């Protein structure tokens, strides 16, 4: 077996967007999973120094193909890109075989229909006979078919939001997160076609046991990273008589640790992991219920 083949059998290759909205959150998640990457001179590859995992930096649109064709074992990409690809392949009689391993908590956006401000809108039927500009022709076609609406799809490669102003379309179907781009172009979001977020996908091809083991470890770490993002560790003192009320107020914590306080038989210390953010309002309610010495700490790592 030559060196290349041996490496292919032991090191995972993960495709990540080279430069765009998913790049920083993807690299941030991998770093939180413990991966130390050294970037090669060409910046196209990142080598995992402390895990058998290398990163290939590519355009996000290429990620489903790279994984489907088993050039990469894993990929981090938007659900919007995956679903568009799945439909594009299906139209050519090819079945998409990449597998979604995990939904991730970043890259949130939605593929939406927007019309010029003030345009008449009474549901999807208003699109009948209209021209709709998009870079997602397959998802849009599926949406229109499901709504039973016949409209003309104008496929563009970018700058979709200016198509109505240029007279190239009557409506658009594009990605929206805050809506500020739409507002800047005097467009109004009227219908959601797809709710999207980043996902981790994997090759349909069976992996060598070492690689499978690392995929499982990575998934477990991702789970931990996602859980701690919102989690807080809270410590407080409480009168025993207020225990029930205080436990009810602790957000998203299952079984807090209750510790007796030396010299205070009527009081206890409570330590709990709250799986939701702890707001000032919560602390104020806890205090009103009799809690004192409240302390809220960020959680760094969590493994169930």
Q: Contact letters (x/-) for ligand ATP, 39-78, by CB under 6 A? A: --------------------xxx----------------x
Question: In terms of DSSP bridges, do strands 12-17 and 74-78 run parallel, antiparallel, or are they unpaired?
Answer: parallel
Distance CA 170, CA 164 (A): 5
Q: How far is the CB of 81 from Zn ion (least distance, A)?
A: 7
186 binds ligand ATP (CB under 6 A): no
**CB-based contacts of 145, cutoff 8 Å, min separation 6:** none
Q: Which of 123, 135, 212 is nearest to 169 (CA)?
A: 135
Distance CA 170, CA 172 (A): 7
**Residues in 89-108 that interact with Zn ion by CB under 5 A:** none
Distance CA 302, CA 304 (A): 7
Considering CB under 6 A, how many residues would be counted as binding ligand ATP?
Answer: 16
Choose the contact partner of 78 out of Zn ion, ligand ATP, none; CB within 5 to 8 A by kind. ligand ATP
By CB under 6 A, name the one of 109, 172, 286, 291 that touches ligand ATP.
109
Q: How far is the CB of 121 from ligand ATP (least distance, A)?
A: 22
By beta-carbon proximity to ligand ATP, the closer residue of 6 and 108 is 108
Q: Contact letters (x/-) for Zn ion, 30-59, by CB under 5 A? A: ------------------------------
Q: How far is the CB of 175 from ligand ATP (least distance, A)?
A: 4
Q: How far is the CB of 179 from Zn ion (least distance, A)?
A: 20
By beta-carbon proximity to ligand ATP, the closer residue of 68 and 196 is 196
By beta-carbon proximity to ligand ATP, the closer residue of 10 and 177 is 177
Binding site for Zn ion (CB under 5 A): 60-61
* Residues found near ligand ATP in the complex (CB under 6 A): 17, 20-22, 59-61, 78, 80-81, 107, 109, 175-177, 196
């Amino acid at each position: 077996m030559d060196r290349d083949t041996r490496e292919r059998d032991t090191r995972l290759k993960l495709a990540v967007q080279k430069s765009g909205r998913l790049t920083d959150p993807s690299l941030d998640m991998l770093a939180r999973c413990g991966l130390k990457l050294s970037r090669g001179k060409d910046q196209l590859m990142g080598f995992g120094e402390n895990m058998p995992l290398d990163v290939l930096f590519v355009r996000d649109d290429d990620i489903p193909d790279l994984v489907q064709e088993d050039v990469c074992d894993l990929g981090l990409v938007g659900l919007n890109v995956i679903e568009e690809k799945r439909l594009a392949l299906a139209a050519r009689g090819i079945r998409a075989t990449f597998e979604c391993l995990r939904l991730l908590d970043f890259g949130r956006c939605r593929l939406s229909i927007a019309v010029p401000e003030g345009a008449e809108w009474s549901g999807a039927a208003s699109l009948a006979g209209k021209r709709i500009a998009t870079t997602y022709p397959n998802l849009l076609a599926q949406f229109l078919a499901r709504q039973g609406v016949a409209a003309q799809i104008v496929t563009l490669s970018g700058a979709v939001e200016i198509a109505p102003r240029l007279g190239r379309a009557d409506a658009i179907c594009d990605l929206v997160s805050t809506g500020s781009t739409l507002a800047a172009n005097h467009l109004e979001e009227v219908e959601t076609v797809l709710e999207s977020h980043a996902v981790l996908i994997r090759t349909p091809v069976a992996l060598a046991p070492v690689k499978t083991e690392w995929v499982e470890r990575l998934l477990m770490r991702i789970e931990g990273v996602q859980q701690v993002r919102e989690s807080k560790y809270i410590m407080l003192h409480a009168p025993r008589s207020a225990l029930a009320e205080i436990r009810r107020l602790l957000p998203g914590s299952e079984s807090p640790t209750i510790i007796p306080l030396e010299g205070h038989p009527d009081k206890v210390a409570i330590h709990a992991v709250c799986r939701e953010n702890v707001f000032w309002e919560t602390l104020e309610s806890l205090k009103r219920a009799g809690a004192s010495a409240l302390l809220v700490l960020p959680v760094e790592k969590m493994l169930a």
